[in-house]
Amino acid sequence: MGMKIRRGDTVVVISGKEKGKRGEVERVIPKKNRVVVTGVNVRTRHARPTQQNQEGLFTFAAPMDASNVMLVDPDSGDPTRVGYRFTDSGQKVRVAKRSGKDVD
């Protein structure tokens, strides 16, 4: 089954040390069931200093498990579960369980 969170979605972290933070999904890794959220789970790496990077430090958002994030309801802004429904034309759309509004 595919993931219910897609790139560009606004999510809130529901568990772990980053609990409560919000961010936009930057990348989705379905094979490992992981997502990368901007500004959340930020790591620092050390590398040899170069002309472009004098300090030799660079930061990046590391992947986190998709079960640790929930989609933000477009209506109320609260975390919500995601369901699916089919339109009259047969198109499958995501639905926020909390408000019943379409996410897509």
pLDDT, tens digit, 9 for 90 and up, residues 20-77: 999 999 999 999 999 999 999 999 999 999 998 898 899 999 999 999 999 999 888 9
Q: 6: how many CB neighbours lie within 10 A of its CB?
A: 15
Cα 17 off chain centre by: 16
Residue range 1-68 forms a domain whose CATH class is mainly beta
Q: What CA–CA distance (Å, rounded) separates 32 from 80?
A: 22
**pLDDT 10s digits, 63-86:** 999 999 999 998 889 999 999 999
Distance, in Å, from the CA atom of 85 to the CA atom of 12, rounded to the nearest integer, reads 23
CA 6 – CA 35 distance, rounded (Å): 9
